Chains A and B, each alone.
Chain A
Amino acid sequence: MNTDTQYLHDVADSDYEHGWVTEIEADTIPKGLNEGIIRLISSKKDEPEWLLAWRLRAFRHWQSLAAETDKYPRWAHLDYPDIDYQDISYYSAPSSKPKYESLDEVDPELLRTFERLGIPLEEQKRLTGVAVDAVIDSVSVGTTFKEELARQGIIFCSFSEAVEHHPELVKKYMGSVVPYTDNFYAALNSAVFSDGSFCYIPKGVRCPMELSTYFRINEAGTGQFERTLIVADEGSYVSYLEGCTAPQRDENQLHAAVVEIIAHKDAEVKYSTIQNWYPGNAEGKGGVFNFVTKRGICDGDRSKISWTQLETGSSITWKYPSVILKGNDSIGEFYSVAFTKGRQQADTGTKMIHIGNNTSSTIISKGISAGRSNNSYRGLVKVNKGAKNARNFSQCDSMLLGDRCGAHTFPYLEINNPTAQVEHEATTSKVGEDQIFYCNQRGISEQDAIKLIVSGFCQEILAMLPMEFAVEARKLLAIELEGSVG
């Protein structure tokens, strides 16, 4: 085996950094899914009747979908066993206390968990300029900088707290972008979701810091089903970050989240994700099944929603952060780097639905496949009949590291208005021999050359991430590429 393939081999097999488990006592409900379980989840969370009723409607809808196997989403370029939805526990929370008044009440083991992940929650160690909501298994364990934000009228709290303190906002917006009828996993999430983050930026306010939610699955045999709801009122701005990890386990764990974003007139929401759920081992054993519905609506004129994602984790990724461009002159953006290795499979992309006039969208997707992984871009650009002067530019580049992996591009362009200008470009390449030779000739080793070239390939996307995140993203990508080579 020459150094090149040896190195790629190592890349493909490199270890997962966040595979440890925290020993904390958890309150985990029995496995299974039925109306009783939904009621149990709702009662554990002291929820109002209207929310329970909504969950039950969602559950019945999900049941009707689950009853007909052809309603399972099977169009994705993914191969995985059927999931036994009765063999999952739908609620797990650290048991010391269901809710925390302050961080002092939080189990120190838990705080250490987040610190180990590089997310300190304690007052003196807080990340400057970033407010964090930390969610472990199903429950939010702490939100930092709450008071500072509240002074400007910004609401940033766990979803449960929002239900309790801001029911009018939750009622108004929950399910308005992703109704529970949207798809199989959205229905499931709507029925069993446990917690998540809620964020409201009032009119004209520019959120002074990055808002961030950090998700971690800890318990075995559980699924994580969180909902995030972000509402940016007229003329406001917020940048929101999301990170996630999970312990290394031999079984597959299910993560089915819903994220909804509403951007009113002149508002701008920037949503960044670093997805690093446990991807399974090199043979494809274990790992998180990541089925996520993320969608934003540019409801008002001149509003803007931008999704940026770095996807390195999960054994299966099924995820299409989308933007509905309803307001005139609204803007949707999707920037993505998806790196797969081992036996990972990713089917990810976006949907840009142009409805208003003079709307524009940009899609830049970079897929890197190594090992025996499969990496697909799937994206829809749809221009409705009445949407005048819609503009879209899409660019999907794939890079293959090794000859046992796959890179695929499935764009859908649906144009129903003559004034639309839609452009899609895609390329597939490998790291060029001549590029490596050039780097070698300047004294850079083969491995460093590959890292350099791959980082260069992703550069324009990573540059879109907020600074703190960009550093983390670069590190993560370097670790992913480094493999076990010293």
Chain B
Amino acid sequence: MIPELGQFALILALLLSAAQCVLPILGAQLRNRALIAVARPAVAGQAVFVGLAFAILTFAFVTQDFSVAYVAQNSNSVLPWYYRFTAVWGAHEGSMLLWVLVLNLWTVAVAAFSRRLPDDFIARVLGVLGFISFGFLLFMVLTSNPFLRELPMPADGNDLNPVLQDPGMIVHPPMLYMGFVGFSVAFAFAIAALLGGNLDVAWVRWARPWTNVAWSFLTLGIALGSWWAYYELGWGGWWFWDPVENSSFMPWLVGTALIHSQAVTEKRGSFRAWTLLLAIFAFSLSLLGTFLVRSGVLTSVHSFAADPKRGLFILSFLAIVIGGSLLLYALRAPKVAGGEPFAAASRETLLLVNNLMFTVAAAMVLLGTLFPMIGDAFDLGRISVGPPYFGFMFVLLMLPVVLLLPFGPFVKWRSGDFKAAFRHLRPVLLLPFALLLAAWLRGGDLSAWGRAYWGVAASLWVGLGIVLYALHRWRTLPRGRRYTPEMLGMICAHFGVALFLAGVLVVEATSVEKDVRLAPNQSVTIGTLAFRFDGVKEAQGPNFRAQQGTVSVLEGDRVVATLQPQKRVYARNQQPQTESAIDPGLFRDIYVALGEPVGDDGAWAVRVYVKPFVRWIWLGALFMMFGGLLAAADRRFRRLPEGAPAPADANTTTATGVAGATA
């Protein structure tokens, strides 16, 4: 009975989302206040029913109601209680439900904090969000109902995918979805502005913190995913360029361009068309990514064919949402675009380079991700382009970004002076050069192993450049105006880039990886560390058996760490899972994973890694995330400028909007 209530709640939410979409938008076009007023109650009602459906599915998991097919497929009676909660989003149907739930949370927040924006504008925004929700709910009701019964009820369930039985997985998908879905706010703003034929800069100011928060969540989500892959997959790699990762990375790249472009539009009134287009792109790529992952069209050849109904629905929805918004952009953008002119040497130009590079990088990743399908289309066979392509292209595209980043803050809006900026930056430029020179003089090879030097040099350039800017502000500005939260956020995030660069390039260049056959009490040494293999024992987990190895790491006679990597076999799934053991450190990780048993004397293939600076990769991402949140916390965004018009009619000219923003 209760699961049917869940399905019922979904259908009610679907109807409410239709109301939330159609009536307010219609009201805004007709200037009918009654219809406009439907928006907020519809949002609240829909959120209640989606929340109810989610609670009911969670309840079914916790009480182990295996008559629900989705529950039976993704959990079983020995699954620990905490994973029963996370199993809710362990597969397709539940992920969709989580997606809709997160969308509703964002929508409720928008409805609650938008009282000061014009009614007709916010009616359009909520209407657009309602449409997206409608599409997802319809998709669930028609093709992916999580509440389907399986009768007769199986005695026990299958299992949650063992890879997902991990603490990192508990928070990774919700964070990622918070980011993906958060871009829907910027998207809805763009569409509402295009529909209304007007882009008031005050609205962009209002939208900026939302985009920043969404971007921060996405940054955290991706970093968590990378960290999880690092310790769970037993590879020691932190990024694989596989389709699933790429689908979260593309919105991040465009989102990064978007937060910079929004800043320009809000402060200077320029880049309006870019801001609109990037807002559409960021969310479109989120949608595309969600569906590429969920439909499995890329990871597995047959999933689209398995349920053509799903594939077709997805495609039609993408066509309507993305195609529709791009068409709207093509038709209406000339009306809202335009902006202030700026000189070639100006902060605008630098941010334009940033926008271009990040957008092109996203396009490059999209191309590589869709490449297997392109191969099919031109009858070349199914081809994976793989990390060599991505790695090379990405570094190439990000090179100018890294080079120009420290200039950004030093060059003025509108008409800046590169020479003056260069004078400011000269001291930090000397340091990386000195470092490279010293490395070269010492006979270091600057091509292969030297990547570590290049990495440290780039990291110093970006990091010291931004520190220098912080000092510059300290010297030249009066107290109180030196560090607004927005400014601090920028400094923090850019400093994160420096940490990230150091982490990536040092770990790529200097990590030592050894695959060895070790019999009990045999050792292998890496640098000054000796790894002694103490043999493998059986171990028992709550719902798995494991072969647990013990590796003692010694430096001289001192035991640095005792690591216990496992090879697990879960009850329902015969595929063994590698559980690596890591001794983490700020300057190096020691990482041990078990391969296969070899020979009869208790010997195993053991993988031993020493990874210097690997934590800096995620540390950098955390700095970026905090930067985004800090900037979003700036009070300035929550103040509408004095005398800013709150246009009831949608015809306020663009010019007043610009004037309001430059004030």
**Are chains A and B native binding partners rather than an unrelated pairing?**
no
